[in-house]
Structure 1
Amino acid sequence: MGKKLYVGNLTYQVTESDLEALFAPFGTVQSAQIIVDRDTNRSKGFGFVEMDTDAEAQAAIAALNEQPHNGRNLTVNEAKPREPRSGGGGYGSGGGYGGGRNRY
């Protein structure tokens, strides 16, 4: 199984093929994905790359993290599992029924 990497601080013009080409010198790129805003279809400035092996992923992190790319310093590290979203209703942050407002 491959190792998934988070790639942040990308310019909005970077494409998935650009991302794949950037990581290819370090090993086999299984997938490259740019995350886009679902409303505007514009890049959110980050993505994920899945490398074939842990060794390839570590080599890519060592070589690319904090390195300039299109005028920005990249952030490259191991992707963390996605946190489950809570499905509760949004009545403020105060707990109970008042939505956090003073009730007195």
Structure 2
Amino acid sequence: MTIIHPIAATASDIALALTDNDLSGFSVSPNWTFFPFMSLVSNIVGGLWALGIFVATAAWIIAAFSWVVSKAIHNSTMQQYSGIVFVWIALGMMLLGSAMAIVKFASTQALF
């Protein structure tokens, strides 16, 4: 048997080398100021998020108006499609509105 490293003779020795005490001081957190363009990226993401909310709101209002008009003119096909679009846009707006909470929840979960 050839020993590659004099301290670690087997792969199990390498795997068992780190314990919880060794990792207790290990800490990684986001550094938002490391890159000079991070504020620009943050503004772009925030702007796209706001634009998505505005566009979804406008589409939701148009779908609601189409749904009411289709009911008034007794067009069942138009009512069916505008109702489906109305519901899907409402669900999408819920996701857009809670996007930051979803990201925060997912990023703060302990994986181990």
Bigger fraction of residues in helix = 2
Q: Shared topology, TM-score over 0.5?
A: no
TM-score tier, shorter chain, comes to under 0.3
TM-score, normalisation: structure 1: 0.19
